[in-house]
Structure 1
């Protein structure tokens, strides 16, 4: 349910490749029936293409123009005149009642990264970012999964934030190299960083306190995710269950590693990921 993965930019009318085999997203989508799986791949391709604009789309004015073209393409899709690069979304939009506002939210989330690097956003801005780049994708996804409306929207809200906060914690060093810092301003101020740069923040001796606080928020969202799943029909939550369980393994690994430098890149053990796939791959 997250759209933050990056890839080499592709020509405008070409769809990105399918998710990498072996990734938790790929495994989760493989659990879906063919029609739903193909719909999710179409949404994934849209998200990857828009994400490429934000990360690898050239100068700011070029990125702005291209994101505007994506917005226009989404509008044309809903007007019944889809350009070639969104044509794979025609059937999913019609079959699963996907909302135009969620596609626009994804574009708006990528725009937050496209024009200037995010550095220590306030809590409200960070939450908006998580909603756009992750929970909006979740709202599209739960409709494809076939979840009941109210529970699906609530699940997308919590699981999207859980996954995105996990991504932020996992990638703090890589993001800093790109000039980005997604840790919230208020938590950084609490350890004495009132005007942080990405590098000053990740090297701060008390950065672990900030990361632990963000991890606690992610844990709370995971807890809400599982509470919603427990109240939901089992079959439509299969992919969401696998994603939540797999991503939480990353959070557990981060907490076990700690935040002192040098921070090794974490990856859950293969056997743990296999166990998650086996447990949640069975209805």
Structure 2
């Protein structure tokens, strides 16, 4: 639970918002235009959440030694604590100030920020190699579902349905990424495929490169894809139950990723880079999906 927030008069600094928007756009996010669909106030909050996630992700994936990564992530713990505990406007930087305003305006849950940092700490402690299925789902909750829980508050979704969308859609998206990126993750020394499924497929090794090129790797991906398909289905049901709020960005993400998922399924979950490129959606297709859902306005459910 969050500590009660003291409602202070935090300045609504246009320069801060512009700085964060530029940061998000320069990061090349596939969903920049999905976030652009929202009102300026909601858009600023989403950009701040994205910028926070990008900063901690860059720490976890960066070239620093693990000890320094953990130290920098610990400093982010302190920054988040300060945003919730302080009754004065942050003077540190633009991101802190916009995050503070977003926390105040939308009641963002501190636990979700901390969960995202914990997910990055898992990578920094790693590399992760063949976790249990339960550990994998916990990781997915931290790095994806927790982000969704922050976002749906900005979307204005009802509490229960919004949380359900976040929990399932976040896992669906992250599992899709994991299935798609086995080879690329292996090159970083990471293996997110759960050891339970590896064992069932007769793969005894937990060496990332060995697993990525194992003869039965397709069986492992197929088994994990069943879980992803379940998560997509539950997310869709929860989205239809959202009777208020503007969930178009969530719908866009679901439609885009479900297309990627279906293309992977069609081509047998192959690991070749060429196969990955073929099944990836190009920018034009993503923009077409975003435009179609945007033009649907409040009737976004018809796009699911």
- TM over 0.5, shorter chain: yes
Q: 1:280 to 1:261 in 2, by over 3 A?
A: closer
Any residues of structure 2 matched to 1:97-136 within 5 Å, and which?
A: 97-136=107-146
Question: Aligned partners of 1:93, 1:260: CA distance in 2, in Å?
Answer: 42
TM-score (norm 2): 0.83
The aligned residue for residue 3 of structure 2 is: none
**CA spacing shift, 1:63–1:271, aligned 2, 3 Å:** closer
| Preserved CA contact (<8 Å) 2:158 2:244 | no
Report the equivalent of 1:4: none
1:258 to 245, 260, 268: 268
Unmatched runs of 5 consecutive residues or more in structure 1: 1-13
Other structure's SS at 2:209 match: helix
Distance in 2 of aligned mates of 1:215 and 1:19: 31
Which shifted more, 77-86 or 234-243?
77-86
Matched, 1:38 2:48: no
Instruction: Pick the aligned partner of 2:289 from 264, 276, 280.
Output: 276
**TM-score, normalising length from structure 1?**
0.89
Higher-Rg member (1/2): 2
User: 1:132 offset after TM fit, Å?
Assistant: 0.3
2:4 aligned partner:
none
1:195 CA drift (Å): 3.3
Q: Number of matched residues?
A: 270
Task: Give the match for residue 180 of structure 2.
Answer: 170
Any idea what SS the aligned residue of 2:163 has?
helix
The aligned runs of 1:106-255 (5 Å cut-off) are 106-233=116-243, 235-255=245-265
Q: Give 1:21 shift.
A: 8.3
Q: 1:258 to 1:136 in 2, by over 3 A?
A: same
Q: Which runs of 5+ in 2 are unaligned?
A: 1-18, 298-304
Distance 2:25 2:132 in 1: 32
Contact 1:151–1:228 (CA under 8 A) maintained in structure 2: yes
Structure 2 distance, partners of 1:76, 1:21, is 26
Give deviations 1:57-86, integer Å, cap 9, x for gaps: 511111111111100010011112534352
The answer to whether the 8 Å contact 1:253/1:268 transfers is no
- Can you list the C-alpha shifts for 1:190-248, whole angstroms capped at 9, x where unaligned? 11123321111111111111111111211111111111111113652111111100111
What is the Cα-based RMSD across aligned positions, in Å?
Answer: 2.0
Deviation at 1:20, TM superposition (A): 5.5
- Report the 3-state secondary structure (helix = DSSP H, G, I; strand = E; otherwise coil) of the residue aligned with 1:17: helix
Instruction: Write the mapping of 1:72-91 to structure 2, written as runs, cut at 5 A.
Output: 72-80=78-86, 82=90, 83-84=92-93, 85-91=95-101
Q: Is the contact made by 2:205 and 2:211 (CA closer than 8 Å) also made in structure 1?
A: no
